[in-house]
Amino acid sequence: MSPKQSHRLRANSGAINRQKSVQFTFDGKKYTGFEGDTLASALLAHGMHLVGRSFKYHRPRGIFGCGSEEPNALIRVIHPSNAEPNLRATQLEIYDGLVAESQNRFPSLKIDFLSVNSFFARFFPAGFYYKTFMWPASLWMFYEKFIRQAAGLGRVSKDHHDPDRYEHKYAHCDLLVAGGGASGLQAALVAANSGARVIIADEQSELGGWLLTDNNFNIDQKPAMDWASNVIKKLRSMPNVSCLVRTTVAASMDDNFILMAERVTEHLSIKEAHLPKQRLWKLRAAKVILATGAIERPLIFSGNDLPGIMLSSAARSYIFRYDVLAGTRAIIFTNNDDAYYTALAIHQAGGFVRCVVDLRDNPKSQIITTLRKLGIDVRTGHAVTAAHGTLHVASVDIAKYDTENGAPTLDAVHMDCNFLAMSGGLNPVVHLHSQRKGRLIWDDRTSCYRPENKSDEWVSIGSANGTFQLGRALSEATKVASSVITKLTSENKGIMLQETIAIPQTEENKQNWTPLPVWLVQSGQPYISDKTAFVDFQNDATAADIKLAVREGYHSVEHVKRYTTTGMATDQGKTSNINAIGILANTLNKSIAETGTTTFRPPYTPTSIGAIAGRNIGSLFAPVRTTRMHSWHKANGATFEHVGQWMRAWYYPREEEDFQQTINREVHATRHYAGLLDASTLGKIDVKGPDSAEFLNRVYTNNFATLPIGKSRYGLMLKEDGMVFDDGVTTRLSEDHFYMTTTSGGAAGVLAWLEELLQTEWQDLKVYLTSVTEQWSVASLSGPNAKSILKACMSEDKTVVDDFPFMTMKDTFIAGIPARIFRISFTGEMAFEINVPARYGLALWSYLMRVGKEFKLTAYGTEAMHVLRAEKGFIIVGQETDGTVTPYDLDMHWIVSKKKADFIGKRALERSSMNEPQRKQLVGLLTDDPNKIIPEGAHAVLDPDQKMPISMLGHVSSSYYSPNLKHSIAMALLKGGLNRKGQTVYIPMLDGQEPIKAKIVDPIFFDKQGDRLRG
Amino acid sequence: MLKIKCPICGNRDETEFSCGGEAHIARPLVDNKLTDKAFSEYLFMRDNPKGIFLERWCHTSGCRRWFNLARDTISHEIIEVYPIGQMPKTAKGKKSYQANWRRRSKAEAASKPAKRIVK
Ligand SMILES: [Zn+2]
């Protein structure tokens, strides 16, 4: 049996479906609400206000608002397979089976051990984190545990797995109307009638905005919501209009690129499989109308954060929209007329309005007279100076108040109550305007920042523009939409403004929209009361924090924001920012306009990472490239490594072989018999055109103009700063045709760089570049038996193998497959790189392995390749180089042409600093202990016993165990390394072990003369 | 996210493009000997004005063509798009081109054949 909905009104507003009960669970207890309820309204219907504990002090907090502005009621929803933290109860629609729980409390909402924090409020003053970090580090160590336990907002699922699906949707429209209230609906209607493609989006579950709550007046002689329903019906029927609900316009960016987060199935108890949980719209709108409405400001006084205290507008919304009377003995605290309507609503709903406390001295409005006539106690020139209670507001202090001097003038009267509704005026929702760097203007009349409408791309209307009066807002919406459409008409022939556009008529509203700005209500002892006068409820920032920040010298609004963390919680200060600026301005004795505002940044409300990621997760996050031989590698037990986007066979372990044993076997086999490497990932660029030779001559450091047809040459490419950029072998296929290879990871970058040079620097050169990386499969065959294997494989003329000099290329056939075979070597052995059209890759590989069997051919992976090349002292760009290494640093002077007039990087290499003898230079390292392998990236020092900080000599770039030398080998970049050969260095270890002792040697460890390579 | 009008493909999202930084940085000719300091104007110094900036962009995920554009770094408004090797045509673009310190740099002077350098 669920508890009774004790606070549900008999009256039926029609906004929620009283015929359909909904069962849900909160903190383990079952409750009943109605279809259309939010979790907040359903809990309030049970008289429950307390729904969470605050972030810093773990103070009890209640439902405060009725929409996305909610700072307190953050809850966690438990799904069968995961949980979602920090959802706003005021926006979460209940459904059958919903399970939710409160956050930030231990062990329960009513008893929270951590709330002792509030007795030690001095532990968390403004700037607490900054100060803690600035003190000696040891203090931070002391505090850290305490802070970590106390802080943190919500908890995510333990396994971090989100089983839901999110999608991205791309769209274009002529006009986006953000906000589906009265102004938004009217603007959308005007625009839609012109034929423009219109999207109207609202974050609530239905269109209508504030009209869903305040239905007390007429539009065109009909109840306001009837007018709205008609407009909505019309809009929904038009093919050029999309009406989106539960869709938050989260971000407005350059050129009207809009992000909208649509909650598709979150409110459904049965979530159909074909629907995503959320849809992230990426919208490009020609024009944007911001009709995002306004949010009420709270009043700041001691104890204003107690459960049972809420915004006046929210209290009214719960009555009219959800049939819920949130409190039965109510105090209304206001500085404007609007809260009187809340008082009236409570009174008419059967509640007892204890007192209306108005900060204004002598306000004159019809509504005040009406209330007084009803016998309601209205006290003007008064203030609520404090609210009291433990888990719920129980009483307030009311005193005559001098707003000029900010102090009560008489002793306070104590008054009991169980509810307080407050109103400090309205803040237009300027977030989207502000995100675009739109300026804000302080309006003294309405005491709010409103947008400066200067842009051609977007414009604000209605409450979002500070036009709070309904009749004026509708007229503004009509005019603005017409002028936006007129602009569009000139750009788009399909759009035509309808000539007669009627402005919906309302009766004159006598409401006075001028609030009396009192930013902080102080008791007689402000030093005490300010500490519990909360400005930012979500981040627990108080008036005292802001004053302290000013005393400590923070005067800029941006600094105070960060120092006190006001406005930095997930609600981005929707209810707190302007109050904070007001208190700051008063403390600094400045006007609000002089004090300025902070910047709102996207998103408007927190947007789930899942929605932002969309389908780009798991294997779709980054595409994986595999070669045509991949299936063979897999079938033969290869372990893979990522090289750029490529998956390359790393090594092929056999049963009971560990990593090192596998590498040793593969390396040994290649040096003694033959090895086969899948080199298909090498970048390959086809270079064609009459100026190809000249072009290559300009981009490589060495000479390519003289390269004979059929010959290959190793080349080094620099960037204009003289630093090594890429390397590879390029072969001349014909007079004007070259075949370039690049590093596997650098292929795309090299092509882009060469294209850039051709398109920008040397537009006169006739050269055409084509990436052919994926058009060729490459098997690299090396070792003493390579020649015999190749010969056995040749299908036609086997003699081509006999006459095959080093660094040449042959166009021939192998196993009947057309092939380009290059006699080049990266292992230091006699080697052939066999290129075949990509689709023959697997056939070639399998054939080679089959024929090679009797020659003891072994497949080897990238790790063995690294060892083999390191034994020979061959560099790998990106391993021995890092963008700060010149060819001279690599001791490769021979590759830099002295004869060529120019090449990329030539002038930079001639800079005096490039010949600095203490530059880091490439050397080899041999450890004293042949079995000790130096970790790659480790730093070398000359004297390991020197005082800290130790001066570093350089770092180890490559390090392996060489099975051929039976010795650990390494390459390192050391300061002045070329002149240090023979010296001893030490490599200190992170784990506190003895530094590794090593000797600086030449980086060529094996076959220095290169006899094996030439065969 | 900017909307950029590729001269070949038309309006596309910024994510399809990559920005190549300041435009109109002429490469010094080898025949014109430059001091290291003067050469560094070409190699390292890049402008970062508040206001109109002439930039190079490439439609990387599209036609892969490079082009120039004039952009207001405050409002992000794109003033004009024009081909590589050509000058801006708008008054704002021309003004930005002339106002750039590089027009008076030794490195830029060295990008023209030596005999044409006015001593
Ligand atoms: Zn393009």
What CATH number has the domain bearing residue B50? Answer: 3.30.2270.10
Specify if B86 maps to a domain.
Answer: yes
Chain A contact for B43 (CB, 8 A cutoff): yes
Query: Which residues of chain B make contact with A907, given a CB cutoff of 8 A?
Result: 28, 30, 34, 39
A689: left (phi over 0), alpha (psi -120 to 50) or beta: left
Give the minimum alpha-carbon distance from B8 to chain A in angstroms, rounded to a whole number.
14
The architecture of the domain spanning A912-1014 is Beta Barrel (2.40)
Give the minimum alpha-carbon distance from A701 to chain B in angstroms, rounded to a whole number.
15
Q: What is the pLDDT of residue A207?
A: 97
Alpha carbon dihedral A934, A935, A938, A941, in 10-degree steps, equals: -20
Please give the residue range of the domain that contains residue B31: 3-111
Give the minimum alpha-carbon distance from B99 to chain A in angstroms, rounded to a whole number.
22
pLDDT, tens only, B41-69: 999 999 999 999 999 999 999 999 999 99
d(CA A433, CA A460) in angstroms, rounded, equals: 8
- B62 CA from centroid of ligand 1 (Å): 5
Query: Which residues of chain A make contact with B58, given a CB cutoff of 8 A?
Result: 752, 756
Rg for chain A, CA atoms, rounded: 38
Average pLDDT across each block of 10 residues of chain A; the chain has 1015 residues. List them in order.
86 85 96 96 96 86 95 91 90 96 77 55 59 57 57 65 90 97 97 96 96 86 93 97 98 97 94 94 97 97 97 96 96 96 95 97 92 96 96 96 92 95 96 95 93 95 95 96 92 77 79 87 89 92 93 92 88 90 94 89 91 91 94 97 94 95 97 97 97 98 96 97 97 98 94 97 96 97 96 83 93 93 95 97 97 97 97 96 96 95 96 94 97 96 90 96 96 97 95 93 92 80
Q: What is the pLDDT of residue A140?
A: 56
**Choosing among A723, A754, A760, which should be mutated to test the B contact, i.e. which has the most B CBs within 10 A?**
A760
Number of domains forming the structure of chain B: 1
Q: What is the pLDDT of residue A496?
A: 83
Handedness of CA A535, A203, A621, B11 (dihedral sign): negative
State whether B66 and A254 contact (CB < 8 Å): no
- B61 CA from centroid of ligand 1 (Å): 8
ipTM computed for the complex: 0.96
Q: Contact at 8 Å (CB) between A417 and A537?
A: no
Residue A762: CA count within 13 A, CB half-sphere? 20
- B13 CA from centroid of ligand 1 (Å): 11
Quote the Cα angle for A650-A656-A660, to 5°: 45
Chain B contact for A760 (CB, 8 A cutoff): yes
* A10: CB partners within 8 A, 6+ apart: none
User: If you average pLDDT over residues B10-23, what whole number do you get?
Assistant: 96
**Is the CATH number of domain A17-120 3.10.20.440?**
yes
Going from N- to C-terminal start, the domains of chain A cover 17-120, 167-294+428-507, 912-1014
Specify if B118 maps to a domain.
Answer: no
Per-residue CA distances from A103 to A27, A54, A55, A81, A388 (Å): 10, 9, 9, 19, 23
Q: What is the pLDDT of residue A58?
A: 83
- B51 CA from centroid of ligand 1 (Å): 26
State whether B3 and A284 contact (CB < 8 Å): yes
Q: What is the pLDDT of residue B117?
A: 44
Of B27, B36, B64, nearest to A761 by CB-CB distance is B27
* H-assigned helices in A629-770: 630-635, 659-672, 692-699, 747-756
Query: Which residues of chain B make contact with A906, given a CB cutoff of 8 A?
Result: 30
- Provide the chain A residues 857-916 that lie in CB contact (below 8 A) with chain B: 901-902, 906-908, 911-913
Q: What is the pLDDT of residue A107?
A: 64
Specify if B88 maps to a domain.
Answer: yes
Q: What is the pLDDT of residue B119?
A: 42
State whether B3 and A908 contact (CB < 8 Å): no
Chain A contact for B106 (CB, 8 A cutoff): no
Between strands A98-102 and A166-178, the pairing is unpaired
Q: What is the pLDDT of residue A193?
A: 94
* Eight-state DSSP code of residue A117: G
Q: Contact at 8 Å (CB) between B67 and B88?
A: no
B102-107 long-range Cβ contacts below 8 angstroms, 24+ apart: B102/B24, B102/B25, B102/B41, B102/B45, B102/B47, B105/B38, B105/B41, B105/B42, B106/B34, B106/B35, B106/B38, B106/B41, B107/B26, B107/B28, B107/B34, B107/B38, B107/B39, B107/B41, B107/B42
Which residue in chain B is spatially nearest to A764 when comparing CA positions? B85
Query: Looking at the domain covering A167-294+428-507, what would its CATH class be?
Result: alpha beta
Alpha carbon dihedral A453, A459, A464, A465, in 10-degree steps, equals: 30
| Beta-carbon count within 10 A of A245 CB | 18
3-state SS string over A669-702? HHHHCEEEEECCCCEEEEEECCCHHHHHHHHECC
Give the minimum alpha-carbon distance from B2 to chain A in angstroms, rounded to a whole number.
5
